[in-house]
Chain A
Amino acid sequence: EAGVAQSPRYKIIEKRQSVAFWCNPISGHATLYWYQQILGQGPKLLIQFQNNGVVDDSQLPKDRFSAERLKGVDSTLKIQPAKLEDSAVYLCASNPGGRPEAFFGQGTRLTVV
């Protein structure tokens, strides 16, 4: 089966600019996650969707980050305006339900200069 697709793979922007990332989960997976992985650290959950509803966004900096999952399939994560500390890899993952593990995409590496 096709894996989790993310784009772009790399993005460099200046601080205060905006950026958007896209994720297409594995077909049929109801749960979708966005994680932020800062260099040298483990991934940290930003937001979790169940179909197109938000389950957990407690760690999402809502003053600058937003995410949506229209029609319960694809998802976009946006940062506006970006700060230097947002430099990280943004990982999308999905889970089919009924299984404990999540499946990850290759990630988008964001550099804010």
Chain B
Amino acid sequence: GNSVTQMEGPVTLSEEAFLTINCTYTATGYPSLFWYVQYPGEGLQLLLKATKADDKGSNKGFEATYRKETTSFHLEKGSVQVSDSAVYFCALRTGTASKLTFGTGTRLQVTL
């Protein structure tokens, strides 16, 4: 079956620090990969996606590259802001009719 493993949080960084949140996956078939973000009290928002190997998804300064050889989709940002404090979920989907499978989430706290 499909599964997603994320690094455990919480991750605490100072503003302008570099962020990496690791994500690895196991999938039957060829998955599409996603990062979703959940701000306090809110639902999940799509942050970025990649649908094939070596694709780089990017949005709001965040990036992640689909690495098929290492089955990874690590999230990075060069300079985090306090407003980036949230929970980040890595997810995958195989096929256009299947469900999203999520990791357990990584809480990011950015301080001044």
Chain A contact residues, CB within 8 Å of chain B: 4, 6, 31, 33, 40-45, 48, 50, 55-56, 91, 93, 97-98, 100-107
Q: How many residues of B contact A (CB 8 A)?
A: 23
**Chain A hits for B34, CB < 8 A:** 100-101
Docked complex: B23-56 residues within 8 A CB-CB of A: 32, 34, 36, 42-46, 49, 51
What are the 4 tightest A-B residue pairs by CB atom distance, in nearest-first order? Answer: A42-B102, A100-B32, A104-B44, A106-B43
Q: In the bound complex, do residue B104 and residue A48 qualify as a contact, i.e. CB atoms below 8 Å apart?
A: no
CA distance A2 to B82 in the complex (A): 28
Given contacts A97-B96, A100-B96, whether A42 and B43 have CB atoms under 8 Å apart is no
What's the Cα separation between A54 and B96 when bound, in Å?
15
Check A101–B96 contact: CB distance below 8 A.
no
Mark contacts of B2-26 with chain A using CB atoms, 8 A cut-off: 1 yes-contact digit, 0 otherwise.
0010000000000000000000000
**What chain A residues lie within 8 Å of B102 (beta carbons)?**
42-44
Nearest-neighbor residue (CB-CB) of B32 within chain A: A100
Give 9 new A-B contacts, CB below 8 A, not counting A43-B100, A106-B42. A42-B89, A42-B102, A42-B105, A43-B89, A44-B102, A91-B43, A100-B34, A101-B49, A104-B43
Q: A21 → chain B, closest Cβ, in Å?
A: 13
Q: Are the C-beta atoms of A56 and B51 separated by less than 8 Å?
A: no
Known: A91-B44, A101-B46, A106-B42. A45 touches B105 (CB 8 A): no
Give A48 Cβ to nearest chain B Cβ, in Å. 6
Q: Are B51 and A100 in contact (CB under 8 A)?
A: yes
Minimum CB–CB distance from B60 to chain A (whole Å) comes to 16
Assess whether B97 is interfacial by the CB under 8 Å rule.
Answer: yes
Compute how far the CA of A43 lies from the CA of B103 in the bound complex, rounded to whole angstroms: 8
Q: Could you tell me which residues of chain B, from 54 to 112, have a CB within 8 Å of some CB in chain A?
A: 89, 91, 93, 96-100, 102-105
The 12 listed contacts between A and B (C-beta, < 8 Å) are A4-B43, A33-B100, A41-B105, A43-B44, A55-B97, A91-B44, A100-B51, A100-B96, A101-B32, A101-B46, A102-B100, A104-B43
Cβ–Cβ contact A100 & B49, under 8 A:
yes
B49 & A45 in contact (Cβ 8 Å cutoff):
no
